[in-house]
């Protein structure tokens, strides 16, 4: 019989790393993550996504940095830009600079015009992300490894490489989580056949070949 982890325990485990990084600089990129062997992206793509995030952060025009809070999340070379900037004149150059990064396939510019979110607001978003992640795990209908959850001012963005059924589950879980104002679907939806192929590739990547055993030498 499988034991289900209590939601409170899942929240504690998921929220700890989120809150440890919630004391933001005004301009924040996604912290360097851990390469996952259970990810449908190849390890090369995962590395490219992390590289894209820090490159995008470094390309924010200097004149806007002090008045902005901009975050970049790249998933399978599709980049979500969130945060606050002082004007539309700041938003467009940031999008153009991100689009110019080699390998970027799509841009989702969700920057809003206004003052940077407060620490309290960011902490609330971090908690909301953790609640959604915990409920995805607790649903046992989808692997949380395949969904990236980003919360901004109560809005939840879902990224990932999934099939149609998984997308519906993730959206339903997010929409029914207390505190979520709106769910924005940024997931890449593939056919079941393509998802099965990616799962097989990810599984093969976890199987490292055993080291060759040298042939015993003959004593003569």
How many other C-beta atoms can be found within 10 angstroms of the C-beta atom of residue 180?
17
Q: What is the mean pLDDT of residues 2-12?
A: 50
Asked if 69 contacts 117 with a C-beta cutoff of 8 angstroms, the reply is yes
pLDDT attached to residue 18: 45
Decide if 46 contacts 74 (C-beta within 8 A): no
Q: Which domains does the chain have, with CATH numbers?
A: 27-113 (no CATH), 119-204 (3.30.1340.30)
pLDDT band at 27 (very low <50, low <70, confident <90, very high): very low
Share of the chain above pLDDT 90, in %: 71
Q: Which DSSP helix (H) or strand (E) runs through 150? A: strand 147-152
| Both tokens assigned to 134 | 């915990």
% of residues, the chain, pLDDT over 70: 77
Q: Are 53 and 33 in contact (CB under 8 A)?
A: no
Q: What is the pLDDT of residues 141-161, one digit of tens each?
A: 999 889 999 999 999 999 999
Which range is least confidently modeled, 12-16, 68-72, 172-176? 12-16
Q: Hey, how many other C-beta atoms are within 10 angstroms of the C-beta on 26?
A: 14
Alpha-carbon span 67 to 88, nearest angstrom: 13
The pLDDT of residue 90 = 95
- Pairing of β 106-109 and β 112-113: unpaired
Confidence of residue 20 (pLDDT cuts 50, 70, 90): very low
Q: How confident is the model at residue 6 (pLDDT cuts 50, 70, 90)?
A: low
Distance of alpha carbon 106 from alpha carbon 96, whole angstroms = 12
Confidence of residue 23 (pLDDT cuts 50, 70, 90): very low
Tens digits of per-residue pLDDT, 68-127? Answer: 999 999 999 999 999 999 999 999 999 999 999 999 999 999 999 999 999 999 999 999
Bridge partners (DSSP) listed for residue 70: 83
Mean pLDDT for the chain overall: 85
């Amino acid at each position: 019989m499988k034991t289900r982890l209590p939601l409170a325990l899942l929240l504690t485990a998921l929220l700890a790393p989120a809150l440890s990084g919630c004391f933001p600089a005004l301009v924040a990129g996604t912290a360097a993550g851990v390469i996952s062997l259970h990810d449908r992206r190849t390890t090369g793509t995962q590395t490219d996504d992390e590289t894209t995030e820090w490159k995008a952060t470094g390309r924010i025009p200097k004149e806007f940095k002090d008045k902005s809070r901009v975050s970049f999340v790249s998933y399978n070379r599709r980049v979500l830009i969130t945060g606050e900037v002082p004007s539309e004149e700041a938003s467009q150059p940031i999008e153009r600079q991100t689009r110019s990064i080699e390998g970027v396939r799509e841009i989702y510019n969700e920057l809003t015009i206004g003052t940077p979110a407060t620490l309290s607001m960011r902490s609330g978003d971090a908690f909301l992300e953790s609640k959604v992640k915990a409920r995805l795990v607790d649903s046992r209908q989808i692997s949380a490894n395949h969904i990236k959850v980003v919360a901004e001012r109560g809005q939840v963005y879902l990224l990932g490489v999934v099939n149609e059924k998984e997308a519906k589950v993730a959206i339903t879980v997010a929409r029914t989580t207390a505190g979520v104002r709106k769910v924005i679907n940024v997931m890449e939806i593939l056919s079941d056949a393509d998802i099965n192929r990616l799962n097989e590739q990810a599984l093969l990547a976890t199987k490292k070949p055993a080291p060759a055993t040298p042939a015993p030498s003959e004593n003569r």
